[in-house]
Structures are given as structure tokens and as C-alpha cells.
Amino acid sequence: MQNEPFLTLKQIDEVADAVRARTKYQSKIGLILGSGLGGLADSIENPDFVPFSDLPYWPQSTAPGHIGRLVIGTLENQSVMVMQGRIHFYEGYSMSQVTLPIRVMQRLGIETLIVTNAAGGINPDYVPGDLMLITDNLNLVGMMGFNPLIGPNLDELGPRFPDMSQSYDRKLNEIARQAAREAGINLREGVYAGLSGPSFEGPADLRFLRAVGADAVGMSTVPEVIVARHGNTRVLGISGISNKANLDGNTVTTHQEVLEAGEHMVPKIIQILRIVLRKI
Ligand code: HPA
């Protein structure tokens, strides 16, 4: 059953202690790097590295293109804790394990979480290489019974029934819009649909997603954002559109193409993030 194991606050704090012992920084900002976007971590200055394998309870990143370590250092004079590689539900971990990094960040004092991902573009106007500010998401995996907050509520961290009316922080969104404008980068805005993967969507899946208002689709992010909001962490989300969703079934999607497109988008995303970090 993929809902279990549920991690306890004591276990989460053990992990937080293990991270604290490995770094001189006390970051207020967390950054999760999506598929093909791991290169963003190369911009972090004076980094401490903590491989996921050194941390108790922490799942290993098994997805190709996800290195699997924390890179903690500075960017634009802000201390940032970066997950170079993320954990996905399709790797077989429980939702509690998938979102453990967010819990640990919260216990370490992170107040702002920036999530990035590679996503398929469903909105017909989108082309590969576009960036999309995530203004809301469709919690499709949660609707199927895999909400990351299922299980004993960690009352010290947040309420049993948390509000999700503003998952993506309006002030941060405005800062990201300004940053993109200053950088001369076209930043689209839309709704991210979170599926479990690992199979890509078929044409009927994609027509369904389009009909229910999705602009982009991916296999991550939504559980992390729910847990972040449960603990009152502010969230900014940016999708890199790595491929055009194949609504007519005439093109093939591959992970290799997703990784390559991600690498091309790294310079644009880092430009926006640098400006965002200067403004928050
Ligand atoms: N579908 C799901 N996840 C993805 C895609 C896609 O087309 N592209 C990148 N991640």
C-alpha cells in the first residue's frame, strides 16, 4: 500500500538534525530541481553537499537525470537549500517519503519553497522551451486517494484540514512576473496537472486534461506543494515545458527528450531565479 510508511515527527527531526550537522548554513529558501534542471545547482556558491544516501529515512533518487543530493550554499547572497534530484511517487515510495524533504526543510526553518519541474505542454500555445509560472494545480493523484497528508496528522506542523485556496503565493508570483519581464523572458502562466507516471499520457488522457483546464502535465510537484502549504511554507512554482503533449497520438515522448529540453532551459530559469532571489 503506497500510503505507508507514514513518517513521524521524531523521524523527520532525526533527518533535520543529520542535515544540520553537515552544513554551516541556515537557509530560509528551499529549491527543488526537476528533470534536466539539475545543472541549476552548479550556480550555488560555496556549497555544502549532502548525498541523500547519508541521511536516515531519506529515499534515494532513482530517476535518470536526478543526482540525489542536497546542495546548500548561497545564490545572490541568499542561503539556499537545493534538492539536486527529487523523489517521485512512481519510484515506489510512499507519499510521506516523497514529501519528507519538504518536512525536513520546514524543520530546518525554510520559509519559501521554489519548485521547478519539466512538464508536457497541453495548452496548444505552448512550445518546448517555454517557461510556465504555476498559478494552480490539479491534484489528480490526491483525488485517487494518495494525498500526502493522509495518515496521522502532524499537529505540530499544520492542521488536519489545510486550506489550499492559494497554493502558489500571489506575492511570489508577482515577483516572478517582474523578474521575467526584467530578464526579457516570456513567462507563461497556467495550471499544472500532477499525475503519478511513470508512463506518459495517452491521447485520451491528454484530451481529458485539456478539458479540465490543465495547461501542463507532469509527474511531481503537487504532493510537495500540499505538504509545504500544510506547514505554511510559501511556494513559487515554475514548469519548464519540455515537450508538446501528444493529443493526436502522432508523436512519441521520451525521457531523453525531457532531459535535453530541461538542460536548454536552465539558463533562462536561473536568470529568473537570480532576480527573484534579489527581490525576496
Ligand atoms: N507528461 C508527463 N510528465 C512529463 C512530460 C509529459 O509529457 N514531460 C515532462 N514531464
Q: Is the pLDDT of residue 132 over 80?
A: yes
Which pLDDT score is estimated for 253?
Answer: 87
Q: Which atom of ligand 1 sits closest to the CA of residue 120? A: 7
Q: Assign 233 a pLDDT band (cuts: 50, 70, 90).
A: very high
Spell out the residues 6+ positions from residue 31 whose beta carbon is closer than 8 angstroms to its own: 40, 80, 81, 82, 83, 113, 114, 116, 273
**How many angstroms is it from 218 CA to the middle of ligand 1?**
5
* Nearest-angstrom CA–CA distance, 245 and 193: 12
Q: What is the CA radius of gyration of the chain?
A: 17
Q: Which atom of ligand 1 sits closest to the CA of residue 219? A: 3
What are the structural domains, with CATH classification, of the chain? 9-279 (3.40.50.1580)
Q: Is the pLDDT of residue 231 over 90?
A: yes
Q: Is the pLDDT of residue 249 over 70?
A: yes
Which pLDDT score is estimated for 110?
Answer: 98
How many residues can be counted in the chain?
280
135-149 as b/e: b if 16+ CB within 10 A:
bbbbbbbbeeebbbb
Which tens digits make up the pLDDT trace of 3-54? Answer: 889 999 999 999 999 999 999 999 999 999 988 888 889 999 999 999 999 9
Q: Bridge-partner residues for 29, per DSSP?
A: 80, 112
Which pLDDT score is estimated for 223?
Answer: 98
Which pLDDT score is estimated for 10?
Answer: 97
Nearest CA to ligand 1 atom 3: 218
Residues in contact with ligand 1 by the CB-under-6-Å rule are 118-120, 200-201, 217-219, 242-243, 245, 253, 258
Report, as an integer, the average pLDDT of 262-271: 89
Spell out the residues 6+ positions from residue 19 whose beta carbon is closer than 8 angstroms to its own: 50, 55, 70, 72, 104, 108
Report, as an integer, the average pLDDT of 183-212: 96
Spell out the residues 6+ positions from residue 36 whose beta carbon is closer than 8 angstroms to its own: 65, 118, 240, 242, 258, 259, 260, 261, 262, 263, 265, 266
Residue 230 annotated as catalytic = no
Q: Assign 120 a pLDDT band (cuts: 50, 70, 90).
A: very high
Which tens digits make up the pLDDT trace of 59-89? Answer: 988 877 778 999 999 999 999 999 998 899 9
The mean predicted confidence, pLDDT, of the chain is: 94
Pocket probe mutation, ligand 1, options 116, 140, 217, 248, max atoms within 8 Å of Cβ: 217
Q: Which atom of ligand 1 sits closest to the CA of residue 195? A: 2
The answer to whether the beta carbons of residues 19 and 106 sit under 8 Å apart is: no
With pLDDT > 90 as the criterion, what percentage of the chain qualifies? 84
Which pLDDT score is estimated for 243?
Answer: 94
Which tens digits make up the pLDDT trace of 136-170? Answer: 999 999 999 999 999 999 999 999 999 999 999 99
Residue 165 annotated as catalytic = no
Which pLDDT score is estimated for 261?
Answer: 83
Pocket probe mutation, ligand 1, options 33, 86, 88, 201, max atoms within 8 Å of Cβ: 201
The answer to whether the beta carbons of residues 215 and 133 sit under 8 Å apart is: no
**How many angstroms is it from 83 CA to the middle of ligand 1?**
20
How far is the CA of 213 from the CAs of 122, 136, 192, 209, in angstroms? Answer: 9, 10, 9, 6
Nearest CA to ligand 1 atom 2: 218
Spell out the residues 6+ positions from residue 150 whose beta carbon is closer than 8 angstroms to its own: 3, 95
Q: Assign 1 a pLDDT band (cuts: 50, 70, 90).
A: low
Which pLDDT score is estimated for 246?
Answer: 81
Nearest CA to ligand 1 atom 9: 119
Secondary element (H or E) of residue 118: strand 112-121
Cα 253 vs. chain centroid, distance in angstroms?
21
Q: Assign 133 a pLDDT band (cuts: 50, 70, 90).
A: very high
